Amino acid sequence: MSNNNTPIIVGVGQFVSRETPTHGHVLSALDIAGEAGRRALHDAGAKTDLNAQVEVMAVLRLFEDSTRKVAIVNNPFGGSNNVPGSIARRIGVSPRENIYCAVGGQTPQRLVNQMSERIHRGEIGCALLVGGEAIANIKYATRNGIEIDWNEELDDDFTDLWPVNNADNMVSAYEMAHGLFLPVQAYPLFENVWRHKAGHSVEQHRRVMGTLFSRFTQVAAANEYAQFPTVRSAEYLATPSAENYLLSEPYTKWMVAQDSVNQGAAVLLTSVGNARAWGIPEQQWVSLHGYGDCDDVNVIDRPDLSVSHAQNLAVGRALESAGRRIDEIAHIDAYSCFPIAVLSACTAMGLDPATEHPLTLTGGLPFFGGPGNNYAMHGIAEAVARVRGEPGSYALVIANGGYLSKHSVGVYGAAPLAEWRAVDSSEIKQQLQAHPRAPVTETPHGAGVIESYVAAYRRGQPAIGYIIGRQASDDRRFLAIAADGDGDTLNGLFDSEPLGRAVDVTRRDGVNQFRFASD
Q: DSSP alpha helices (H): ranges in 1-127?
A: 29-43, 83-91, 107-121
Kindly state the average pLDDT of the residues 377-387.
98
Confidence at residue 166, expressed as pLDDT on a 0 to 100 scale = 56
Task: Say which CATH class 7-170+260-418 falls into.
Answer: alpha beta
Confidence band, pLDDT 50/70/90 cuts, at residue 129: very high
Give the angle 457-174-462 at the CA atoms, nearest 5°.
10
Please give the helix or strand (H or E) that residue 409 lies within, else none: strand 406-413
Kindly state the average pLDDT of the residues 396-414.
97
DSSP letter (8 states) at residue 277: H
In 10 A of CB 429, how many CB atoms?
A: 17
Yes or no: is domain 446-516 CATH 3.30.360.10?
no
Please answer whether residues 212 and 101 qualify as being in contact, where contact means their C-beta atoms are separated by less than 8 angstroms: no
Tell me how far apart the alpha carbons of residues 378 and 315 are, in angstroms, rounded to a whole number: 19
**Taking the C-alpha atoms of 170, 462, 479 and 294 in order, what is their torsion angle to the nearest 10 degrees?**
30
DSSP letter (8 states) at residue 129: E
Give the amino acid at 107: T
In terms of C-beta density within 10 A (0-12 exposed, 13-18 middle, 19 or more buried), how is residue 227 classed?
Answer: buried
Confidence band, pLDDT 50/70/90 cuts, at residue 152: very high
Q: Domain map of the chain by residue range? A: 7-170+260-418, 446-516
Residue 120 scores a pLDDT above 80: yes
Confidence band, pLDDT 50/70/90 cuts, at residue 163: low
pLDDT per position as a tens digit, 299-311: 999 999 999 999 9
Confidence at residue 500, expressed as pLDDT on a 0 to 100 scale = 96
Confidence at residue 73, expressed as pLDDT on a 0 to 100 scale = 87
Contacts of residue 369, defined as CB under 8 A and 6 or more positions apart, other chains included, come to 16, 226, 227, 228, 258, 261, 263, 375
In 10 A of CB 222, how many CB atoms?
A: 11
Tell me the average pLDDT of the chain.
95
Percent of the chain at pLDDT above 70? 98
Q: Who has greater pLDDT, 404 or 71? A: 404
Please give the helix or strand (H or E) that residue 480 lies within, else none: strand 477-481
Residue 72 scores a pLDDT above 90: no
Residue 11 scores a pLDDT above 90: yes
Residue 168 scores a pLDDT above 70: no
Tell me how far apart the alpha carbons of residues 260 and 166 are, in angstroms, rounded to a whole number: 25
Tell me how far apart the alpha carbons of residues 193 and 229 are, in angstroms, rounded to a whole number: 31
Confidence at residue 418, expressed as pLDDT on a 0 to 100 scale = 82
Contacts of residue 69, defined as CB under 8 A and 6 or more positions apart, other chains included, come to none
- SS3 annotation, 316-385: HHHHHHHCCCHHHCCEEEECCCCHHHHHHHHHHHCCCCCCCCCCCCCCCCCCCCCCHHHHHHHHHHHHHH
Percent of the chain at pLDDT above 90? 92
Contacts of residue 407, defined as CB under 8 A and 6 or more positions apart, other chains included, come to 106, 292, 293, 294, 295, 296, 308, 310, 311, 313, 314, 315, 398, 399, 400, 401
Confidence band, pLDDT 50/70/90 cuts, at residue 496: confident
In 10 A of CB 67, how many CB atoms?
A: 15
DSSP letter (8 states) at residue 512: E
Tell me how far apart the alpha carbons of residues 461 and 353 are, in angstroms, rounded to a whole number: 31
Contacts of residue 1, defined as CB under 8 A and 6 or more positions apart, other chains included, come to 418
Confidence at residue 1, expressed as pLDDT on a 0 to 100 scale = 57
pTM of the complete model: 0.97
Q: DSSP of 449-469, one letter per residue?
A: EEEEEEEEEETTEEEEEEEEE
Confidence band, pLDDT 50/70/90 cuts, at residue 24: confident
Give the amino acid at 38: R
Confidence at residue 167, expressed as pLDDT on a 0 to 100 scale = 54
pLDDT per position as a tens digit, 427-448: 999 999 999 999 999 999 999 9
